[in-house]
Amino acid sequence: MIGAHDDNFKSMDLLSRSRAAVWHPCTQMKQLEADPPLAVARGEGPWLIGVDGRMYLDAISSWWVNLFGHCNPRINAALTDQLGRLEHVMLAGATHAPVVELSERLAQLTGLGHAFYGSDGASATEIALKMSAHYWRNTGKPEKNGFVSLQNGYHGETVGALSVTDIPLFKATYEPLLRPTVQVPTPDARLAEPGESAEAYALRCADALEAHLAGHADTTAAFIVEPLVQGAAGMAMYHPVYLARAREVCTRYQVHLIADEIAVGFGRTGTLFACEQAGVRPDFICLSKGLTGGYLPLSAVLTTDAVYAAFWGDETARGFLHSHSYTGNPLACRAALAVLDLFEQDRVIAANRVKADAFTGILDKVCAHPRVRHFRHLGMIWAFDVHDAKPGFASRFHRAALAQGVFIRPIGATVYFMPPYVVEADAVRDLAEVLCACLDDPAV
Ligand SMILES: *Cc1c(COP(=O)(O)O)cnc(C)c1O
């Protein structure tokens, strides 16, 4: 059965077998009966091709991971080459060219030294939290082991990462398993008082961070933050001055600043890393998602030479005690290197700026729709809230858009468009029509 080609399965076969055998993520499985998943046979550029033969625009880059389209010929070529050389070797006691070259290039791009690898975003968060607390222990301050994060922040769903996440749906059920952490006010610009600018509101929130750290620096290891956009909160955007102030405050109170650029890194916000827009260098940066262009699970945490140096010594336990079987997987590193090549060779950041301006113009009609509030845009992310959304809006909108060839999954009442960078204006024009048609539909 496994050998049979996807395309040979009728959609219904695949769906019923998926329901019977696959436990889908972040899904009430009972709901799949009424709201079946899209059965995908192939991918090509920004398109998913269903087993029904129809094309669907991957409007949210397959959970924000895809940068250069599905089955990108250049990333495919790099992986094919690597497959003939080395598929994997453990990274304890061995090393290989792809991981060395990737580490060198990431260090150059981030201004941070050694790269430690994990398999997905949540493992990068775990690594950064453990590394920060271990640094303070190695420097004689073991009581500095607490963490601060933003309200509505998201840093992954493993037990440590969930402890610094603040999305009630993901967190409440597992609360008894989690370590207590502190959440400070989010600078989400939508929460500004009437007449208050996004910048003034961000500064007010930075004061709250400072007030907390002033009283708790002795027991705080790090402040972890999603720079500029809180993705899972519903693409909440905020003014860069918050990051600049957070950097100052963290330095003043000797608390690490961890930039979780898992979603926003690699050009999503218009610069290679979102922190650049605030002129900030964090103590740790977490990277994943776009890192391999959406090909393979890989994450990396980079940190300063000062942090690295604190782990140096004769005792094993002074070193960083963390590993995953697939740490630094050569195939994943080759995919990541191909992604970095694409950024350089195609001058992607500059090209995206031109594309984004054009797309924003095309999406004007969505912005002007009477149901739309807080239309916002940064880099290659567009989002808006639907002011009169009723319970179940997200899944109804998803189904209505899917019927018209768009794969998009709102977060609550927030609809967002976060496409692979290879998407073209024609597809965005069609998307704008579909979004407006869905908003016009009284049943949605
Ligand atoms: C997706 C995400 C994570 C978790 O990554 P996974 O690969 O899903 O574990 C962490 N932080 C942010 C900001 C994310 O968007």
Probe residue for ligand 1, chosen from 230, 288, 301 as the CB with the greatest number of ligand atoms within 8 Å: 288
Range of the domain at 398: 347-421+433-444
Q: Is the CB of 126 under 6 A from ligand 1?
A: no
Does 166 map to a domain? yes
Residues 332 and 361 in one domain: no
Residues 194 and 328 in one domain: yes
**Ligand 1: which residue has its CA nearest to atom 5?**
121
CATH of the domain at 177: 3.40.640.10
What's the helix, strand, coil split of the chain in %, to 5? 45, 15, 40
Answer with the one of 345, 378, 407 that is the final residue of a domain: 345
Cβ atoms < 10 Å from Cβ of 89 = 13
**Ligand 1: which residue has its CA nearest to atom 11?**
155
Does 206 map to a domain? yes
**Ligand 1: which residue has its CA nearest to atom 15?**
263
Answer with the one of 294, 310, 345 that is the final residue of a domain: 345
Does 99 map to a domain? yes
Percent of the chain residues topping a pLDDT of 70: 98
Q: Is the CB of 122 under 6 A from ligand 1?
A: yes
Please tell me the distance between residue 374's alpha carbon and the centre of ligand 1 in angstroms.
Answer: 24
Q: What is the pLDDT of residue 10?
A: 62
Q: Is the CB of 288 under 6 A from ligand 1?
A: yes
Q: Is the CB of 260 under 6 A from ligand 1?
A: yes
Q: Is the CB of 268 under 6 A from ligand 1?
A: no
Q: Is the CB of 210 under 6 A from ligand 1?
A: no
Atom of ligand 1 nearest to the CA of 122: 9
Residues 334 and 438 in one domain: no
Does 237 map to a domain? yes
Please determine, for residue 4, whether its predicted confidence score (pLDDT) is greater than 80. no
Probe residue for ligand 1, chosen from 120, 158, 289 as the CB with the greatest number of ligand atoms within 8 Å: 289
**Tens digits of residue pLDDT in 361-392:** 999 999 999 999 999 999 999 999 999 999 99
Residues 273 and 173 in one domain: yes
Does 30 map to a domain? no
**Tens digits of residue pLDDT in 308-317:** 999 999 999 9
Residues 360 and 268 in one domain: no
Residues 89 and 171 in one domain: yes
pLDDT bin (cut points 50, 70, 90) of residue 11 is low
**Tens digits of residue pLDDT in 76-134:** 999 999 999 999 999 999 999 999 999 999 999 999 999 999 999 999 999 999 999 99
Does 8 map to a domain? no
Tokens 């009477």 belong to residue: 370
Q: What is the pLDDT of residue 135?
A: 98
Please tell me the distance between residue 158's alpha carbon and the centre of ligand 1 in angstroms.
Answer: 10
**Tens digits of residue pLDDT in 247-290:** 999 999 999 999 999 999 999 999 999 999 999 999 999 999 99
Residues 197 and 84 in one domain: yes
**Ligand 1: which residue has its CA nearest to atom 12?**
155
Residues 302 and 312 in one domain: yes
Q: Is the CB of 231 under 6 A from ligand 1?
A: yes
Does 62 map to a domain? no
Atom of ligand 1 nearest to the CA of 232: 15
Please tell me the distance between residue 270's alpha carbon and the centre of ligand 1 in angstroms.
Answer: 19
Residues 405 and 315 in one domain: no
Please determine, for residue 8, whether its predicted confidence score (pLDDT) is greater than 60. no
**Tens digits of residue pLDDT in 20-45:** 999 999 999 999 888 899 999 999 99
User: How confident is the model over 132-143, as a mean pLDDT?
Assistant: 98
CATH of the domain at 354: 3.90.1150.10
pLDDT bin (cut points 50, 70, 90) of residue 1 is very low
Residues 359 and 323 in one domain: no
Residues 260 and 216 in one domain: yes
Q: What is the pLDDT of residue 33?
A: 87
Answer with the one of 345, 365, 385 that is the final residue of a domain: 345
Mean predicted lDDT score pLDDT of the chain = 96
Atom of ligand 1 nearest to the CA of 161: 10
Does 19 map to a domain? no
**Ligand 1: which residue has its CA nearest to atom 10?**
155
Please determine, for residue 207, whether its predicted confidence score (pLDDT) is greater than 90. yes
Q: What is the pLDDT of residue 311?
A: 98
Residues 129 and 246 in one domain: yes
Q: What is the pLDDT of residue 337?
A: 99
The total number of structural domains that make up the chain:
2
